Amino acid sequence: MKTHTFVGMTMIVILSAGPTLAAADAGGEERSAEKSFRLYADGSIGPMGVLESVEPVRVNGRALGGARFVWSGDLIEAPVGGVRLSLDSIGSVTLENRAIARLASVTGGLPGGKTGKILIASIIRGNMRAGLRQDAGAYIECLGSAYIASGGAAFRVGERESKPFLTVSAGDVQTETPSPQRKYLIRPVGGRASISVKARSTVQIQFRVTDDHDKPVPDLPVIVAVAGSGMLGSGSAAGATVTLTTTSQGLVQVPFTAVNAASTSSITASVPGTNATCSMSVATTAAGGLSAAAVVAIVAAGVGGAVAAKKLTEDSPSPAQPPTFDKPKIRP
């Protein structure tokens, strides 16, 4: 029997790769020697590769441009055009349009008794393409499903209609039995499905996460993303996506700053590795401006007032003229 073994520094790397990654062998199930990896501590220190993108890429919440090093455990959010990563001794990975994933690499025993680098990835949103070297392997998680790829494999994995999918174009990629998932419910505080904010103003957006017994869930990662205009967070951590952790009351809170023009946006909160998600719409109104409905109401009120004034003038009697008197005649 051969199982995934996490010890020493590798345990830290694996746990940082995703919320469910370390639970892959919680049941101690027996696996075929041809399908499993044996992981162990890797004493090497340094970046695991380089990312290449013309557009800025968010790494651990910070926007970076050009070619940058990628370190084991980094949370990477691809721009609209995607981002390609060249990983040392592993191969290449491409995160497609706005995909989010946490990546790590470890040294481990590959199928067949060989030793090599293994890519550990937890896909939080979107799709990922990968091409592995012949002497590398990969362990990928997405929405509760896990995949083991052998050396030389080329594949695409991700989510489609809130369900995981896998397309293999070369090599061997095996699907593991999905690990049991806890059920979560996430919803906006106050139950509001939409809000309205003024341009250039900032409001606090709150979500609450509960379990299937409606109890708050603490210490749970939540991804909050905005589609459209506006910005989440503040300072150097501001961006279109932020990763938060729930409080003891199951709450996450993030500031949303509206743009300086009328627009509409959508804010989505989701629990990584699960199907728990919810969205709310945001309508931004121009600062000091009036909506079309308000303008129509004002114009109508003005027209109505003018008509009423005219009618009142027509119906009112003419003001009384002061009486006149003939000059008295004075006789001598």
pLDDT tens-digit series, residues 146-200: 999 999 999 999 988 878 999 999 999 999 866 666 789 999 998 888 899 998 8
Between these two residues, 139 and 1, which has the higher pLDDT value? 139
Q: What is the per-residue pLDDT for 2?
A: 36
Residues 6+ away with beta carbon under 8 Å from 177: 29
Q: Rounded CA gap, 288 and 286, in Å? A: 6
Q: What is the per-residue pLDDT for 45?
A: 59
Q: What is the per-residue pLDDT for 307?
A: 46
Q: Which residue has the tokens 């020493």?
A: 8
pLDDT tens digit sequence for 111-123:
677 788 999 998 9
- CA atoms 159, 19, 38, 121: torsion sign: positive
Across all residues in the chain, what is the average pLDDT? 76
Asked if 63 and 117 sit in the same domain, the reply is: yes
Q: What is the per-residue pLDDT for 152?
A: 94
Q: Rounded CA gap, 284 and 259, in Å? A: 8
Nearest to 88 by CA among 100, 72, 73, 74: 72
Asked if 25 and 121 sit in the same domain, the reply is: yes
pLDDT tens digit sequence for 155-168:
999 988 878 999 99
Q: What is the per-residue pLDDT for 246?
A: 92
Asked if 18 and 155 sit in the same domain, the reply is: yes
SS3 260: coil
Asked if 104 and 149 sit in the same domain, the reply is: yes
Classify residue 302: in a domain, yes or no. Answer: no
Categorize the per-residue pLDDT at 95 as very low, low, confident or very high, splitting at 50, 70 and 90: very high
Between these two residues, 213 and 180, which has the higher pLDDT value? 213
Asked if 253 and 271 sit in the same domain, the reply is: yes
Categorize the per-residue pLDDT at 22 as very low, low, confident or very high, splitting at 50, 70 and 90: very low
**Residue 21 pLDDT exceeds 60:** no
Q: Rounded CA gap, 202 and 205, in Å? A: 10
Mean pLDDT for 235-248 is 83
Asked if 23 and 162 sit in the same domain, the reply is: yes
**Residue 42 pLDDT exceeds 50:** no
Of 3-7, 95-99, 239-243, the poorest mean pLDDT is in 3-7
Nearest to 209 by CA among 281, 125, 143, 274: 274
Domain with 198 in it: what CATH number? 2.60.40.10
Classify residue 308: in a domain, yes or no. Answer: no
Asked if 154 and 20 sit in the same domain, the reply is: yes
The number of folded domains in the chain is 2
Q: Rounded CA gap, 150 and 37, in Å? A: 10
Specify which residues 174 forms β-bridges with. Answer: 148
Q: What is the per-residue pLDDT for 96?
A: 94
Radius of gyration of the chain (CA): 32
Q: What is the per-residue pLDDT for 49?
A: 93
Q: Rounded CA gap, 281 and 267, in Å? A: 6
Q: What is the per-residue pLDDT for 226?
A: 87
- CA atoms 195, 255, 209, 61: torsion sign: positive
Classify residue 202: in a domain, yes or no. Answer: yes
Q: What is the per-residue pLDDT for 326?
A: 52
Classify residue 246: in a domain, yes or no. Answer: yes
Q: What is the per-residue pLDDT for 325?
A: 46
Asked if 245 and 267 sit in the same domain, the reply is: yes
Mean pLDDT for 289-301 is 46
Q: Rounded CA gap, 153 and 160, in Å? A: 21
Classify residue 83: in a domain, yes or no. Answer: yes
DSSP category for residue 11:
H
Classify residue 292: in a domain, yes or no. Answer: no
Q: Rounded CA gap, 2 and 37, in Å? A: 8
Q: In the structure encoding, which two tokens stand for residue 15, read together?
A: 């746990």
Asked if 274 and 193 sit in the same domain, the reply is: yes
Of 85-89, 173-177, 285-289, 326-330, the poorest mean pLDDT is in 326-330
* Cα distance from N-terminal residue to C-terminal residue, the chain: 148
Domain end, chosen from 176, 192, 223, is at: 176
Classify residue 296: in a domain, yes or no. Answer: no
Quote the domain boundaries for residue 209: 184-285
Q: In the structure encoding, which two tokens stand for residue 229, read together?
A: 């205009």
Q: What are phi and psi of 136, to 5 degrees?
A: -130, 170
Q: Which residue has the tokens 């590795």?
A: 273
Nearest to 79 by CA among 65, 62, 102, 98: 98
**Residue 284 pLDDT exceeds 80:** yes
Asked if 121 and 223 sit in the same domain, the reply is: no
Categorize the per-residue pLDDT at 64 as very low, low, confident or very high, splitting at 50, 70 and 90: confident
Classify residue 300: in a domain, yes or no. Answer: no
Count CB-CB contacts under 10 A for residue 303.
10
